[in-house]
Amino acid sequence: MLLTRASPTFLPSTSAASPSPQQAAPPPTSQTFGRRQHRRGGGLVSVSSPVVGQRSGARRSVMTAAGAVPAAKLEDADALIDSVETFIFDCDGVIWKGDKLIDGVPETLDMLRSKGKRLVFVTNNSTKSRKQYGKKFETLGLNVNEEEIFASSFAAAAYLQSIDFPKDKKVYVIGEDGILKELELAGFQHLGGPSDGDKKIELKPGFYMEHDKDVGAVVVGFDRYFNYYKVQYGTLCIRENPGCLFIATNRDAVTHLTDAQEWAGGGSMVGAILGSTKQEPLVVGKPSTFMMDYLAKKFGITTSQICMVGDRLDTDILFGQNGGCKTLLVLSGVTSVEMLQSPDNSIQPDFYTNQISDFLTLKAATV
């Protein structure tokens, strides 16, 4: 591991080893709404790369697929709503798909605010800054404050701040404008990004590609301008600059660029750099607990009073479980009920439902 400047609070996990059942934390003595009385078995969920801020004590233990405790279908929305103070929502597949708002979202958010619930929106999509996401919410007719939005582009800059990344070092960005804007706001020098999208390499005998020796971190996120130049430049920085960090905003396999189909996600760009460097990235987006720790500290939230709502098992639900939150899977995005209930799936949320507007209909049904 090349990370040498990380603070004790956010040191990444360097092992995916699972403790034995004898080492698992004992079950709580009483059961509260939405929380399993046991910890779903003795083994930890295996993740394929170090995740920044991983707290082994807070991770939800999950049994093998054959013995996983199945998620309950949400039937009493009021009980879940009343059991927490804060709802963290993923965006893509939960609030919108592409640029299309999912039905019932405005009314649902208004209802939760009327009950005094804090709402936070966390997305692994790094193409926009928090300010840019604020404009998207506004365009869709949603009244969301910039301080309530946390994108993985912001997480990358916040992580560098948390480890006191030297201001005389530079960050090479394989990604889009959102990462650049957040790095600028944090006061970090950067290069790369969309401006390298048109650059090409002329492979001729004796060609030697130069790179900036002052690059101390390579940040990789979703990039529609991804090319071989960026792969080679990022690879050279990570392999040849002593101590250079390899940071991934996320490793999502797919994303919703439109509401018509799924598109290759940021994990495909991260995978290319992983393949050429043979180094695992530090992941700052979901399911890393870095953003959860940041939010808990910023708002003074107790994680047991949070419900994480998302459409992805391996990012959103695992993010909530890693942070010790209640979890609700919605089927309006990537995950289908067949995928959830598949014998091969070991990640089970506390509850699942079709979409977040079920908070309104299920509430009415229980009156």
Q: Which residues are catalytic?
A: 85
Please list the alpha-helical segments (H only) found in 163-308.
177-186, 228-240, 266-277, 290-299
In the block, which residue shows the tokens 């969301």? 144
Q: What is the DSSP letter of 10?
A: G
Residue 349 CA to residue 68 CA, distance in Å, equals 10
Backbone angles phi, psi at 260, to 5 degrees: -90, -30
Residue 355 CA to residue 309 CA, distance in Å, equals 10
Mention every residue, 6+ apart, whose C-beta is less than 8 A from residue 176.
126, 127, 128, 193, 194, 221, 222, 223, 224, 225
Mention every residue, 6+ apart, whose C-beta is less than 8 A from residue 66.
343
Query: For 258, what's the count of Cα atoms within 13 Å in the CB-facing half-sphere?
Result: 2
The closest of 136, 70, 66 to 313, measured between CA atoms, is 70
Q: Are strands 254-255 and 263-264 parallel, antiparallel or unpaired?
A: antiparallel
Peptide bond into 70 cis (omega under 30): no
Residue 289 CA to residue 71 CA, distance in Å, equals 22
- CB-CB contact of 312 with 252 (8 Å): yes
Please list the alpha-helical segments (H only) found in the chain.
77-82, 105-114, 130-139, 152-162, 177-186, 228-240, 266-277, 290-299, 318-322, 337-340, 358-365
